[in-house]
Every structure is written in C-alpha cells, then in structure tokens.
Amino acid sequence: MDDQDANRKFQKELNAGAVALVLLSVLDQSQVPLYGYQIAKLLEKHGDKISVVKQGSLYPVLRSLEKGGLLDSNVEPSVTGPPRRYYRITPNGREILAQWVAIWQQNTSFVEAILEGTVDVSER
C-alpha cells in the first residue's frame, strides 16, 4: 500500500511536464484540429493504462496551453451534447515544442546513461 502510494506519487511527478509535451506533440502531428475526447481516446489506445493521468485532467492542461498561446481553439456545435472545443497547435507552439523535445531528449539520455551505469560516478 505504501509502495503503491510512493509509485503513484513518483509517476505523477514525472507526468507533470510530460502531459503538456505529449498534448503538444499529438496536436503537432495531427492534420486536423482535435477535441479533448478524441485526444483522450488516442492516448488511451497507446497508453495501455500504464499512465495514471486521468483523462479529465487533460482538459485543464489544454486550457493552460491555449492560454499560453501554444494552442489555438475554436468551438463547434456537436450532435451529442455541448459544443466542442477543437484545438490546434500555433506556430509559437511548434517552436516551443521543438525546444521541449530537445530538453526532453537531453533529459532522458542523461537519466538513461545514469541508469545504465555508463557514467562513472565513483569518487576520485
């Protein structure tokens, strides 16, 4: 129980920035604007439920990315329920994404190097 809590907490902290990166990247690769539910379904298909990110918490992140000018959105009526907000990436968002990808890759290669033991950590 304690272990599980610790694992959840670790995963949550790891996810904090990754979610924004993933959302930006998904919208960058998509040819058409996507709405929240579509994105959640896409991630679910590939995520195999390993992530502890609740689908509902994607929405505040989408909103904050829009607020920061990285995403752009428009509302269109839907047949099933309330109007839907479709998101697409902005040119500014693309620039930021490229920078974030670079940071992410630097970060992961560093962490992997440490985990694989290829970095000499012994004291001299």
Partner 1 sequence: MYQNVEAYLSELREGLSGLDPATIQDALADAEDHLQSALEQARREHPEAAPESLLSAIIADFGTPQEIAKAYREIEVRLTPPFAPVKKKDTRPFYVRFFGVLGEPRAYAALLYLLTSIVTGVLYFTWAVTGVSLSVGLMVLIFGLPFFGLFVFSIQGLALVEGRLVEALLGVRMPRRQMPFRAGTGIWKKFVARLKDRRTWTTLAYLVLQLPFGIIHFTIFIVLLAYSLQLMALPVLQLVFDQPLISFSFGKYFVPLWSMPLLFIAGILDVIVLLHLAKFVGRQHGAMAKALLVQRA
Q: Which residues bind partner 1 (CB under 8 A)?
A: 35-37, 40, 44, 54-57, 59-61, 63-64, 67, 75, 78, 80-85
Nearest to partner 1 of 68, 105 (CB atom): 68
Distance CA 45, CA 84 (A): 21
Integer Rg of the chain from CA:
18
Residue 35 near residue 27, CB atoms below 8 Å: no
Strand runs labelled E in the chain: 34-35, 71-76, 84-89
Whole-number minimum distance, CB 75 to partner 1, in Å?
5
Comparison of 76 and 112: residue with beta carbon closer to partner 1? 76
Strand-pair category, 71-76 with 34-35: unpaired
Element housing 46 (H / E): helix 36-47
Q: Cβ 12 to partner 1, closest distance in Å?
A: 11
Residues facing residue 74 across a β-bridge: 86
Residue 11 or 114: which CB sits closer to partner 1? 11
| Minimum separation from the CB atom of position 104 to partner 1 (A) | 21
Q: Kindly state the smallest distance separating residue 110's Cβ from partner 1, in Å.
A: 27
- CB nearer to partner 1: give 30 or 55: 55
